[in-house]
Structure 1
Amino acid sequence: MRINSKLLPLKLHYFCFFGCASPIIPFLVVVGTELGLPVSLTGALIAASLMMVVLLKPAISAISDAFPSHRRFIFLLTLTVMVASLSSIAFIPRMGREIRVEGVLVRGVGDGGGEGVKPESVPDAGLGTREPVPEDPVLLTKDDEDEEEEDQTVGERTRLYRLEGVNISDQLVTSNISVWCGGGEWCGEGCGEVWWLWQFWGYTALLHSGTIAFKTAISINDAIAVDTIGPDGDYGSQRVWGTFGWGLMGPLSGCLIDWCSGTSLIKDYTPAFLVCFVLGITDVLLAASTIKVPKMKTNIGQLKSVLPLLQQPRFLVFCAFVVLNGAFNIIAATLVLIMQKDMAEGTWYMSHIKLIQGLTLFVQCGTEAPFMAVTNWFLRRLGAHHVTSLVFGLYVVRMLGHGAAGAYNWPLWTTLVVEMLNGPCYGLGFTATVVYSSRISPPGASTTVQSLTNLCYESFGFALGMFGGGLIYSWLGGPWLYLVGAVVAALTFVLHLISQRVMPPEGEETKKQSYGSSWEEETEKLKTEVEEGLLTGGGEEVKEKA
């Protein structure tokens, strides 16, 4: 195997860039809940950051074109902001004060049994869930005594604080213990209090700046790669190093987090932030010394040729299904990390949960590449629209698999088996979207149409999935989220089949009549781009599941 030494810095840049983001970007929603934010609020914050990308990403590209002599500085500044923002989340403390309670450990709490602490003194306010203390402190049963408390002190001492998600040894029952709650999720009436905490606004600012810088840097990375390798170069051989970095650093950082956290339910993310910082600084220094930044091309002049396409109902329906495709993808691939954490509580899996979540990223990356390689085989036999229908059908199976795993308490590793469906869902689904959008593009405007399609998938679709999925998860829980997702995916599958009957895909002859003789030249150009992997959408297919 021969490696071009001139392209080695580009390969290392891709590895460090995606390896730096891998320990943080997919876990932003998990980190947010660890800090104390509800899943719904964290999902809304991520959705807002994705929508901000729609406005700020083109603005940064326009600034780069307006000041060509400062283009390199802008790129390095974007990388630096990304690294500084993501790694600085490590300094955001958990929201709310630390809560402690001392007392006797007892067993048999609640309807299904469990452990709890009978306080010897009035504990700090804010602990839950409280159960009435029965006569027997060891074999506890649910008591229907009056909930009304006449005296605060007496009421607190006659309540038992249930320990949820903790696997307690039998030897500790009836022992005097001290429980320290180092973190928790804000819920109920007090949830609004997070708006007054500086930790919330610090996390929000770092999340937005890191996500926007990450998304912007992706586009610049692809422009750098295309300019460096030339028109006859192999883009895929460079981009695959980013996949290596993303797929390897996730499990590595997860293993280090579990090792540093020990048996604690509250995980220490310091190793992940250190991996992000070290690889990020390495990437900034590497880019500053070896990477040449090309001129960023804007598509403003091509919008006029795209306007007729935007007025076609067929294209608008296509964009709507692209948005739903992206929403299903982010719900299945990112929110499953939250459900894995919930499933692991109270089991031995909790000591290795971050490794399992890292392996989830590895499975997702490992299954995508083979299906991307055989996409053309499916497209030739089924067509882009039928491949998309197939993907929606697979999302139904994928959602039901996750829902069943959470509802019936299946072993945690079954979620990794279900996530193997990410290969055809993303590998076929996104690529089919890229290919179809290239076929319907007016001559000379393929890049603009690709950008619009990618905007629908990775901005509007991801934002819809994080916002809606986060709300449903907070209200109903993980299993119900995926049940609802399966129902919506099934309806989308049916509607997509109906849309092909009502509005058949535009054929080549129709397109040739619409755009004239230049269509043949544009088709040959698009075929070359697909083979070399240089389409804008292909360059944007980064694993940022979030």
Structure 2
Amino acid sequence: MSQTKCNTSTLPMKLSFFFYLGGMAPLVIFIPTIARQLGYSMATYGTAMTCATLISMIGSPIIGRIVDKYPVKKLFFLTAALACGICGFLIMFVPKLPYETNSELVCGNETYLKVFSKTNEQSSCEDNTFLNPKTDEVIHCKLNCQKNPFEGCNNCTREKDTIDYLSITTEDNRLIDISTQVHFSEHVENIYKFQVLTAQIDDIPISSLSCQNSVKTSCQLNCSDNFVAELASSPAFEGSVYKLYQFWWLLQSLIILFFFSQSTGMLQNAICLDLLGDKHEDFGKNKCWSSVGWGISSIASGWLVDYFSPDPKNKNYTPVFGISLLSAICHFIVAQKIKIVETTVSKDWKPKVQHTIYGLFRKGYVVSFFVWMVVMQFFHSIIIHFLFWYLDEMVDHDCSKRQWIKTLQGITQGVQCFGGELPFYFWAGWIIQKLGYLNCMALSLGVMSVRMFLYSVISNPAWVILIEVSNGISYALAVATKMSYAKLICPPNELNSLVGFVGFVIVGGDSLGSFIGGFVYEAYGGAGMFKYCSYVSGFMCLLQVLCNIFGVSKELKNKDFTPVSTQNAIDAKL
């Protein structure tokens, strides 16, 4: 009677995949919306991500080369794993950009505060905050005005100290600090008008709030109601962010996070392939646990963010950073249990050029393989960095959807993993065997094109849940093809270097996606960006098919590195 054996030797490796991406998932998926809430524009965020990924891009091949030469793989892996969680947690303390307020205090027959919203499209979601009869409370605002509008007021208080204070302040051209109590009055286009009920200067009340001649003054304001402050604030800082310490704090945090994240992922893949040896067809059975970790933590973090956010517009992202740190600690503990195989190379061994990493790039099919990786990662980067930003904008004017948008975004990640990635990691070997590597590359590009187009035409963010099932072919199958083929063509004793270079190319595509995507999004909007990306992906799919028919496919049948028949590599099941 046969018994099913459980391979416990790879259990620490599977848990490593689970905890690593379980900790990174909340950070990766919510960093774009965190940056938006901090006040950054789309182009600025894209530029910051490009810098962060470019630096991490340089680190991958260097670390890969080092661990191929020296037995320091475990030391690097443990250090990078722990550093990921710590750096991710510290992003929680990055301050917001300074907001520029747009308000005006007007004294005439009556005194009122005019708040100018930067957008003309304030929705019923915002209006109901004040037009609802239940919200009939008085709002306290502290104003910092350029001049005193009450100098010409009718029937001002006759207290000598008050009159002297008002005149001295004006003559000295100082900013006037005015404490007021206001009540919402009316909304016309992008102007919100609040009636001033009381006003004080230096704790001295102004007895009359009417002036003989209309007097206006621009003010900075700070109100007890967050919504009023947001109306008067620019949605993103409009000056040069490069002069602000807040930007450099964020950029530095992102650089360190993605450097250690890329290093961890690269070493993790190489360690797994080392442990599997000739059974690299089982790579997907281990890698799929990263999808489980990503899916669970995405759903949990999305729900927790909504649960702990009393303000549906300004979310509390503390659960994201807490999950990231906790997962990193668990990953560090588990990683110590992995039997890491250090590289041992004889000093007398000198490989021929054609059997080195450099020899790979003499082959046309290898060059086309790396180009395909850049293109796929470019589109994947667009989705990672801008899909949630796009969904946030979609519900900006819908109160009911905005309240639970983070839960919805977490569910989409769960569907990506459990409905898309997980099954295709297991089916990838059979698909590759039936279609071949090049056709799998073309298929992933084609599905990516359809996926991008569907993003551009939806009006309800809930439809994204169904679209994300396509992540199985457009991402998981592509990853399986990439890792299986990389292992197949790898020269002897060069695995870590090759995986590091693969990471270099992937991060290159990621940096291009974040940089170009940010400017395209800002110029054409989310729907326009996804539509244009759909067209480009479709064109690249057609180009890949033509290359398969007329050029590269024939060369793939004559590889020089590894005898396919002896390793049965064409049957690789990831």
| Distance change (3 Å), C-alpha of 1:360 and 1:451 | same
- 1:212 aligned to 2:259? yes
Contact 2:429 2:572 in 1 (8 A): no
| Distance change (3 Å), C-alpha of 1:187 and 1:501 | farther
CA distance in 2, matches of 1:98, 1:227: 55
- 1:328 aligned to 2:379? yes
CA shift, 1:59, in A, is 2.8
Counterpart of 2:245? 198
Contact 1:22 1:246 in 2 (8 A): yes
Between 1:90-99 and 1:177-186, the stretch displaced more is 177-186
Gaps of 5+ in 2: 104-111, 132-138, 146-183, 192-212, 220-224
- 1:399 aligned to 2:452? yes
Q: Structure 2 matches for 1:375-394, cutoff 5 A?
A: 375-394=428-447
Counterpart of 2:480? 431
| Distance change (3 Å), C-alpha of 1:307 and 1:179 | same
Deviations 1:319-343 (A, max 9, x none): 3233112212222344211111111
| Distance change (3 Å), C-alpha of 1:461 and 1:153 | farther
- 1:74 aligned to 2:76? yes
Hey, which of these two has a bigger chunk of helix by percent? Answer: 1
Counterpart of 1:475? 523
CA distance in 2, matches of 1:121, 1:87: 34
CA distance in 2, matches of 1:282, 1:374: 30
- 1:349 aligned to 2:352? no
CA distance in 2, matches of 1:421, 1:78: 32
CA distance in 2, matches of 1:510, 1:528: 13
| Distance change (3 Å), C-alpha of 1:120 and 1:494 | same
CA shift, 1:253, in A, is 0.9
Counterpart of 1:340? 391
Contact 1:103 1:120 in 2 (8 A): no
Contact 1:15 1:244 in 2 (8 A): yes
Deviations 1:181-213 (A, max 9, x none): 39865354x1x1x21222211111111111111
Contact 1:252 1:358 in 2 (8 A): yes
CA shift, 1:452, in A, is 7.5
Contact 1:438 1:449 in 2 (8 A): no
Between 1:52-61 and 1:271-280, the stretch displaced more is 52-61
- 1:44 aligned to 2:47? yes
CA shift, 1:50, in A, is 2.3
Counterpart of 2:58? 55
Contact 1:251 1:362 in 2 (8 A): yes
CA distance in 2, matches of 1:152, 1:322: 65
CA distance in 2, matches of 1:152, 1:503: 78
Which residue among 253, 266, 287 is the counterpart of 1:239? 287
What code does the residue aligned with 2:52 have?
A: S
Counterpart of 1:525? 567
Between 1:461-470 and 1:246-255, the stretch displaced more is 461-470
Deviations 1:243-263 (A, max 9, x none): 211110011011111111123
Deviations 1:226-245 (A, max 9, x none): 45566569544443332211
CA distance in 2, matches of 1:330, 1:314: 24
What code does the residue aligned with 1:394 have?
A: V
Contact 2:65 2:497 in 1 (8 A): no
Q: Structure 2 matches for 1:2-401, cutoff 5 A?
A: 3=6, 7-64=10-67, 68=71, 71-97=73-99, 110=120, 138=186, 140=188, 154=216, 179-181=228-230, 185-186=235-236, 188=238, 190=239, 192=240, 194-227=241-274, 234-288=282-336, 290-296=337-343, 304-305=354-355, 306-347=357-398, 348-366=400-418, 367-401=420-454
Contact 1:36 1:185 in 2 (8 A): yes
CA distance in 2, matches of 1:237, 1:177: 49
> With structure 2 as the length reference, what TM-score do the two structures score?
0.72
Between 1:229-238 and 1:70-79, the stretch displaced more is 229-238
Deviations 1:502-522 (A, max 9, x none): 4241356644xxx4xx753x5
What code does the residue aligned with 1:154 have?
A: K
CA shift, 1:83, in A, is 1.2
Contact 1:106 1:137 in 2 (8 A): no
Contact 1:103 1:178 in 2 (8 A): no
CA shift, 1:23, in A, is 1.1
CA distance in 2, matches of 1:503, 1:346: 51
CA distance in 2, matches of 1:337, 1:35: 15
CA shift, 1:438, in A, is 5.9
| Distance change (3 Å), C-alpha of 1:301 and 1:97 | farther
Contact 2:32 2:45 in 1 (8 A): yes
Hey, which of these two has a bigger chunk of strand by percent? Answer: 2
| Distance change (3 Å), C-alpha of 1:368 and 1:312 | same
What code does the residue aligned with 1:469 have?
A: G
Deviations 1:429-469 (A, max 9, x none): 33334455666x37648848963773475222222211111
CA distance in 1, matches of 2:468, 2:83: 32
CA distance in 2, matches of 1:36, 1:361: 25
| Distance change (3 Å), C-alpha of 1:435 and 1:232 | closer
CA distance in 2, matches of 1:6, 1:152: 81
CA distance in 2, matches of 1:177, 1:62: 52
CA distance in 1, matches of 2:307, 2:370: 44
1:154 alignment partner, SS class: strand
The aligned length equals: 483
1:345 alignment partner, SS class: coil
| Distance change (3 Å), C-alpha of 1:488 and 1:236 | closer
Contact 2:64 2:498 in 1 (8 A): no
2:397 alignment partner, SS class: coil
Question: Once the two structures are aligned, what percentage of the paired residues are identical?
Answer: 21
Contact 1:122 1:156 in 2 (8 A): no
1:23 alignment partner, SS class: helix
- 1:414 aligned to 2:416? no
2:98 alignment partner, SS class: coil
CA shift, 1:487, in A, is 1.9
Contact 2:87 2:253 in 1 (8 A): yes
CA distance in 1, matches of 2:215, 2:381: 47
Counterpart of 1:147? none
CA distance in 1, matches of 2:68, 2:562: 29
Counterpart of 2:194? none
Between 1:327-336 and 1:379-388, the stretch displaced more is 379-388
| Distance change (3 Å), C-alpha of 1:419 and 1:333 | farther
Counterpart of 1:495? 543
CA distance in 2, matches of 1:385, 1:177: 54
CA shift, 1:501, in A, is 4.1
Counterpart of 1:536? none
CA shift, 1:282, in A, is 2.6
Counterpart of 1:465? 513
CA distance in 2, matches of 1:95, 1:261: 20
CA distance in 2, matches of 1:499, 1:200: 44
Contact 2:456 2:531 in 1 (8 A): yes
CA shift, 1:268, in A, is 1.0
